[in-house]
Structure 1
Amino acid sequence: MSRPTIAANGANVKVVLPPGWYATVSAITRKPYNQLLTCEYEVQGDTKNNFVANKWNQPNQTMRDIDTTDDVIGIIPQNDPVDINIKFYYSKTGSIREDALADDKYKSNKVDILTSVKPPNAPKDFPDYTTFIVLVEDAPDGEQLAGKPQYDDFVCTINCLRGIKIVPIPVGPSYNLPNIQGDILPALPKALEYFYYFRITNLDHFRKVFKEFILPKINTADELVNRPPPPVNPNDPKSFEYPFLGVNVGFSNLGLKKFGLAGESLGDDPFVKGQQQDSRFLGDAGTLRGDFWTPDWDAEFKVDIDGIFLIVAYNEKIAQDFIKDMEAKFLYTASRSAIKKIYSLHGFPRAGAEARNDHFGYRGGMSNPQVKGVTYKDKMRYPGAPEIPLGTIIIGYDGDADKDKRPAWAKDGAFMVTRKLNNLVPEFDDFLLLHGPKIFPDIAPQAAALRLGARLFGRWKNGTSVEMSPDNDDPSIANDDNRINNFTFDQNAKQSRCPFASHMRKSNPRNDVSPIESAFKHFVRRHNMPYGSEVTPEERDGNGTIQERGLHVVCYQSSIVRGFKFIQEGWYNDPNFPPNKPVVPGMDPIFGQTGKEDQAVYRTMSGANPTTEQELMTFPHKFIDPRGGEYFFNPSISTMKQYIAAQ
């Protein structure tokens, strides 16, 4: 009975696989520089070529196929012997990577081979196997340092199994995390973020730079779930020195068209027409001339936008160095670039004790929906957050109601909605100081303002919900991750504890809808970032907002229609949501929009006063002012390789 054999010639390895044998090939890099394994074999007259590469400066990691992102090459049994030819390459030059390494001048030096076979005393039913472990030495003999180990540069494992069907052991849901951009799920870790909106002006050069410079730097969900960088510790300045760079990318419908991808096939009408035209229905202020809508946005967002780069880092130097290098590489003459920067927004968390809070001062994020095995493994950090199927966020999985209608290139991608929302903080604080003491005359004015603000948001500034603690910001709840988000609404209390229209209740209705899970298809993952300076004394002295500050919204979903758009129009802006209440709840006082304040069409809500819950509170001024945004599609890694980076 023939068995697999292996032979080496320098850094070339040939395995002969007998008829009826399976084989898998995988590799692990041990070094920070670029390495490549090529695997060539023939199946039924068809020659297969796989290119398996590592990532720069990520030693001791599994290497992946540059086309499929798979970490294992599988070869099924054939009726004839199969020759598997494997070659190894390397380069210590960062720009020479992936298939560019497949050149004799980058060949590794030599290999050492270890072999393991089925022991003779193994149980009778134990499968017959042969395993070859190939240890690779990159450096030429003349460059070897005395006393240093050899054959420690990367490891290739070839597992051969005879005559049985290989059934993978199930380890959980089949999520292709290496193919999903990492800010979608679980989220890029952020000490600062640049939102770089652009238009493509030279497609060929854009493709070239995208393939060689951008694509290798894009972080995947697999990387962030299984090999995350250390978290930033605001109290430890050294944590900001960690050299982490995060890059993700999204394309508008206009951008996808430039690569021959039809956004219409995604089945999401708002994405096709873009946010500028859709903003009319979101409640943004603007002007309608015939059928054309012009929102009252910043000028930068009223032009065609093809895409956006999300750039995050732990310190400014790393982020700005990347942007500088990127802009230089997109130049195809001394003065002409393949992209036009439309707008760049610099976002960063607030300082000190406000680091977890928005500019209004409220902590959030505890009820962001979770996907088991992706955003958490064994236990949610904040129990009570909705646990949703992956397809609510990622196209092509259970939870995506349109998964069978979407084109193949859409799988593992997601829609991204961005919104630049200026926060009118002095106006909000002035409103609270004016009306809070009228509702709560028995407490100090500042305390009354804080209490009214908590009822409008549904949470106190420290995150404690008014449902759990209507009269004070109970720190014992705020400091307990297991309690802060773990509650439902007391339906018998009506609005005495938490107003129906409070922002928190509008955003996550919990048991206000039945069954609770009926709302899950509308949830989005929010990865927002504040921007702008703190409120100045001049602004606090009754002059209102002078300097720009706010929240750059980033939310992900598998459907804008069911996700962001539904939440804005069907929850925030709908005065009758939550449904079936004894009084009309009103609009979300924070995120609700009429777009017609200049026509005296104001937001109203009931329940701001806990003792007279039918009394309406009117908001003649908005506290959030939308200044722009766009609808994007963040493709999978494989789609970007096949369509965006293709030449």
Structure 2
Amino acid sequence: MGRLSELRARFKREHVTLDLDDIQGVILRSRPEPYVGAHAMLHVDDAVGGRDFVARLADHVQSAKDWAEDLEAWTGVAVSHEGLKALGVPEASLKSFPLPFQQGMAARALQLVDNGLNAPEHWDEALTPGTCHIALTIYAANQAALDTALTTAKDVLERSSGVTLLATHPFGVDEQNKNPFGFRDSISQPTIAGSGVIPQPGQERTIAAGEFILGENSETGSPLGIPEPAELGRNGTYVVFRKFASRVGAFNDYLASQTTDPDAQHEVAAKMFGRWRSGAPLVLSPDHDDEDLGNDPARRNDFSFKDDPKGMMCPHSSHMRRLNPRDSDLTIMTDVNIKRIIRRSSTYGPSWSPEVTVADDAKEDRGIYFVFISARAFDTIEFMQQEWINGGNFVDLGPERDPIVGNHDDDETDGRFTIPAEPARTRINGITTFNRMAGGEYLFMPSVSALHWIGAQGWVS
């Protein structure tokens, strides 16, 4: 059963309470398997021309009305704070946004632990501070559908003035949906209250819609603050957009430095990720990969960490367990439900191969766009970067970092990764930064009506 087929089986329209007609479809719509797509970064040179572009583009942004149904391609649009300013949005509205959004991602490098080679001065030209004003993303089920959507977007751009296309970047994976390191990607997604979908196996309940959609009640029982006026903020959300160049060769070489046995290398990699390459979680299959389990959406996410309190099956420091601790006992108390994110990450470049070496890393364009959606996006990513990714105090591991996405440039633990075992735990060292930050931005994803509001200069009565 494909991802959309599985969603349709759990979708009940009578349970819908959200304004699906106004919410951008990319927020709720999962990527197909396989998928292709493209990111485009644009700069607004002229406010009038920029608003004309937004108005034209808004007609081609699919809402979430039929988000659980088959659709060959869909487009998402998000705008940076500098982009809103360049479009002429009034100062009062600009100041109503959260401070991190106003400052932009590069200015938050300290909070994001974007130092060393991950620092903004090393970012791609199109993603240097303040450059990307509008980010457009197209997801498609096949190349023909993507080509059609790209032709439409190009036509909108050609009919508009005052907007410069900075860069485009294609992405895509086959039906295995593997990330650059050969692991199945984006398995666990939150179920949003009011979206019409019942939770998938392994989830205790839906998450309050206000954790993802502005204007809806959050986990606290009331809405979070929204940008003003309501025509701009309601039914929108925030996006964290971070491009990483994956050092797959360095990862493969590191595994080879630990053991020459290919099966043992797979096991070390699985301990670092928390799942086997098929997507089978270690908690359900601790000793070997299980393709059937990894391919089964009804089972691969149906597990708890309650039966693995010491991390004997899935290490506390593994990438998966760090970014979704579920019901793990945490030393630093955290409401995990308000840290849930909608992942829309996209893999680009050649598929993983065990033959890739560190010498290939500089020659091949391979990596992942880490894209996630949350009404608390900026607080969440900065918390994750500081505590869950680049720290270990929350699981009694001191300064130990995430082995996959941690920034190890200044790692005082010498790239340590702890694997619990009896009678004594194992610690391996020498992990380096396997994902180099290549740029990013904090973005606001307006509702469909807000895109039209911006395009029509809705603040002028």
Which TM-score tier does this pair reach, normalised by the shorter chain?
0.7 to 0.9
What secondary structure is seen at the aligned counterpart in 2 of 1:625? strand
Distance of 1:595 and 1:486 partners within structure 2:
36
- Deviation digits for residues 166-202 of structure 1 (CA, Å, limit 9, x no counterpart): xxxx954631111110111234647311111101123
Distance of 2:62 and 2:94 partners within structure 1:
24
Indicate which of 320, 334, 337 corresponds to 1:520.
337
Q: Where does residue 498 of structure 1 map in the other structure?
A: 314
How far residue 585 of structure 1 moved from its aligned partner, in angstroms, is 8.1
**Structure 2 letter corresponding to 1:645:** A
Q: Where does residue 189 of structure 2 map in the other structure?
A: 368
Indicate which of 208, 228, 247 corresponds to 1:389.
208
Q: Where does residue 260 of structure 1 map in the other structure?
A: 89
Distance of 2:319 and 2:337 partners within structure 1:
17
Deviates more, 1:471-480 or 1:299-308: 471-480
Shift in alpha-carbon separation, 1:612–1:193, aligned structure 2, 3 A: farther
How far residue 331 of structure 1 moved from its aligned partner, in angstroms, is 4.2
Distance of 1:448 and 1:389 partners within structure 2:
42
What secondary structure is seen at the aligned counterpart in 2 of 1:183? helix
Q: Where does residue 247 of structure 1 map in the other structure?
A: 75
Indicate which of 559, 582, 591 corresponds to 2:405.
591
Distance of 2:132 and 2:300 partners within structure 1:
40
1:158-237 matches, cutoff 5 A: 171-172=14-15, 174-187=17-30, 189=32, 191-211=35-55, 213-225=56-68, 228-229=69-70
Shift in alpha-carbon separation, 1:576–1:255, aligned structure 2, 3 A: same
Contact preservation (8 Å) 1:594, 1:603: yes
**Per residue, is there more helix in 1 or in 2?**
2
1:606 aligns with 2:418: yes
**Per residue, is there more strand in 1 or in 2?**
1
Q: Where does residue 124 of structure 2 map in the other structure?
A: 298
State the number of aligned residues: 435
Shift in alpha-carbon separation, 1:171–1:544, aligned structure 2, 3 A: closer
Task: Give the TM-score normalised by structure 2.
Answer: 0.85
- Deviation digits for residues 263-304 of structure 1 (CA, Å, limit 9, x no counterpart): 4312x222111112223332223489xxxx744222221152
Shift in alpha-carbon separation, 1:323–1:634, aligned structure 2, 3 A: same
1:416-565 matches, cutoff 5 A: 416-436=239-259, 445-490=261-306, 494-513=310-329, 518-534=335-351, 540=356, 543-545=359-361, 546-565=363-382
How far residue 584 of structure 1 moved from its aligned partner, in angstroms, is 4.5
Shift in alpha-carbon separation, 1:532–1:403, aligned structure 2, 3 A: same
How far residue 576 of structure 1 moved from its aligned partner, in angstroms, is 1.2
**Structure 2 letter corresponding to 1:405:** G
Q: Where does residue 171 of structure 2 map in the other structure?
A: 347
How far residue 245 of structure 1 moved from its aligned partner, in angstroms, is 3.4
Task: Give the TM-score normalised by structure 1.
Answer: 0.62
Distance of 1:523 and 1:493 partners within structure 2:
21
Contact preservation (8 Å) 1:371, 1:390: yes
Distance of 2:36 and 2:440 partners within structure 1:
19
Contact preservation (8 Å) 2:182, 2:352: no
Shift in alpha-carbon separation, 1:540–1:364, aligned structure 2, 3 A: closer
Shift in alpha-carbon separation, 1:487–1:312, aligned structure 2, 3 A: closer
1:359 aligns with 2:180: yes
Distance of 1:603 and 1:627 partners within structure 2:
21
**Structure 2 letter corresponding to 1:640:** L
Deviates more, 1:493-502 or 1:417-426: 493-502
What secondary structure is seen at the aligned counterpart in 1 of 2:436? strand
Shift in alpha-carbon separation, 1:573–1:287, aligned structure 2, 3 A: closer
Distance of 1:451 and 1:564 partners within structure 2:
29
Distance of 2:364 and 2:349 partners within structure 1:
8
The percentage of aligned residue pairs carrying the same residue is 24
**Structure 2 letter corresponding to 1:557:** S
What secondary structure is seen at the aligned counterpart in 2 of 1:603? coil
- Deviation digits for residues 21-69 of structure 1 (CA, Å, limit 9, x no counterpart): xxxxxxxxxxxxxxxxxxxxxxxxxxxxxxxxxxxxxxxxxxxxxxxxx
Higher relative contact order (CA 8 A, sep 6+): 2
Q: Where does residue 313 of structure 1 map in the other structure?
A: 140
1:569 aligns with 2:396: no
What secondary structure is seen at the aligned counterpart in 2 of 1:511? coil
How far residue 313 of structure 1 moved from its aligned partner, in angstroms, is 2.9
How far residue 621 of structure 1 moved from its aligned partner, in angstroms, is 1.9
- Deviation digits for residues 480-524 of structure 1 (CA, Å, limit 9, x no counterpart): 433321122246651321111001110111111479992110111
Q: Where does residue 123 of structure 1 map in the other structure?
A: none
Q: Where does residue 218 of structure 2 map in the other structure?
A: 399
Distance of 1:499 and 1:299 partners within structure 2:
38
Q: Where does residue 628 of structure 1 map in the other structure?
A: 439
How far residue 373 of structure 1 moved from its aligned partner, in angstroms, is 4.7
Contact preservation (8 Å) 1:369, 1:385: no
1:330 aligns with 2:142: no
Contact preservation (8 Å) 2:304, 2:327: yes
What is the root-mean-square deviation in Å for CA atoms of aligned residues?
3.0
Distance of 2:409 and 2:268 partners within structure 1:
24
How far residue 569 of structure 1 moved from its aligned partner, in angstroms, is 2.0
Q: Where does residue 239 of structure 1 map in the other structure?
A: none
